[in-house]
Chain A
Amino acid sequence: MFHLLPLLPFMYLYVYDAFVQDRRYEKEIQKVENRLTDLGIAGKIVRLGLFRRADEFIRDEVRRGGITTVVAVGSDATVRQVIDVVVDTKIVLGIIPLGPNHRVADLLGVPEGEAACDILSARNVQPIDAGVVNSKRFISMVSIPAAKSEINCEGNYRATPQGRGTIEVRNLYAPKEKEEGLVSDPTDERLETVIQIVEKGGRLAFWKSARGESVLPLKNLEIRTQEPVSALMDGVPIEGTRFDFFVEPRALKVITGKGRVF
Chain B
Amino acid sequence: MFNKDQEGRKIAGTVIAQGVKVEGDFVSDGDVIIEGEVTGSVKTAGYLEVGDAAKIKASVSASEAVVAGEIYGNLTVTGKLELFQTSRVEGDIEVATLSVAPGAKINGQVTMNGKRSTTEAV
Chains A and B come from one and the same complex: yes
Interface residues, chain A, CB within 8 Å of chain B?
153, 156-163, 165, 170, 174-175, 181-185, 192, 194-195, 197, 205, 207, 210-217, 261-262
Sample of 26 A–B contacts (CB below 8 Å): A156-B24, A157-B25, A157-B26, A158-B23, A159-B20, A159-B21, A160-B23, A161-B20, A162-B20, A170-B12, A174-B9, A181-B10, A182-B2, A182-B10, A182-B11, A182-B12, A183-B5, A184-B12, A194-B12, A197-B19, A207-B35, A211-B51, A212-B17, A216-B16, A217-B13, A217-B30
CA distance A158 to B37 in the complex (A): 12
Q: Which residues of A contact B11 (CB under 8 A)?
A: 182-183, 185
* A146 vs chain B, min Cβ distance (A): 13
Number of CB contacts from chain A to chain B under 8 A: 88
Q: Which residues of A contact B21 (CB under 8 A)?
A: 159-160, 162
Query: Is A216 within 8 A of B23, CB to CB?
Result: no
* B16 vs chain A, min Cβ distance (A): 5
Query: Is B17 within 8 A of A195, CB to CB?
Result: yes
B112 at interface by CB-CB < 8 Å? no
Query: Is B33 within 8 A of A211, CB to CB?
Result: yes
Q: Which of B16-43 contact A (CB under 8 A)?
A: 16-28, 30, 33, 35-36, 40
| New A-B pairs, 7, CB < 8 Å, besides A205-B19, A217-B30 | A156-B26, A160-B20, A175-B9, A183-B12, A184-B12, A195-B17, A217-B12
* A74 vs chain B, min Cβ distance (A): 28
Q: Which residues of A contact B9 (CB under 8 A)?
A: 174-175, 182-183, 261
B15 at interface by CB-CB < 8 Å? yes
Assuming the contacts A163-B19, A165-B19, A185-B11, asked whether A214 and B36 have C-beta atoms less than 8 A apart, the reply is yes
- Find the A residue at minimum CB distance from B39: A157
B14 at interface by CB-CB < 8 Å? yes
Q: Which residues of A contact B25 (CB under 8 A)?
A: 156-157
Assuming the contacts A157-B40, A214-B15, A216-B14, asked whether A195 and B26 have C-beta atoms less than 8 A apart, the reply is no
- Checking B12, B13, B23, B30 against A157 with a beta-carbon cut-off of 8 angstroms, the contacting residue is B23
CA distance A215 to B36 in the complex (A): 12
Query: Is B16 within 8 A of A159, CB to CB?
Result: yes
Q: Which residues of A contact B17 (CB under 8 A)?
A: 195, 197, 207, 211-214
- Find the A residue at minimum CB distance from B38: A157
Q: Which residues of B contact A215 (CB under 8 A)?
A: 12-15
CA distance A53 to B33 in the complex (A): 46
